[in-house]
Amino acid sequence: MKISQLKYAELFTLLAFIFLLIIFSIQGSLTEENALAKENPQELKEEIAKLTKENDELTAKL
Q: Is 16 within a domain?
A: no
- The torsion of the CA quartet 3, 4, 9, 13, rounded to 10 degrees, works out to 10
Per-residue pLDDT tens digits for 21-51: 888 887 777 776 676 667 777 777 888 889 8
Q: Is 37 within a domain?
A: yes
Per-residue pLDDT tens digits for 49-60: 898 999 998 888
6: three-class secondary structure by DSSP: coil
Q: Is 55 within a domain?
A: yes
Q: Is 13 within a domain?
A: no
Q: Is 23 within a domain?
A: no
Q: Is 56 within a domain?
A: yes
Range(s) of the domain holding residue 58:
32-62
Q: Is 12 within a domain?
A: no
Domain count for the chain? 1
User: Distances in Å between the alpha carbon of 41 and those of 11, 36, 45, 46, 47?
Assistant: 45, 8, 6, 9, 10
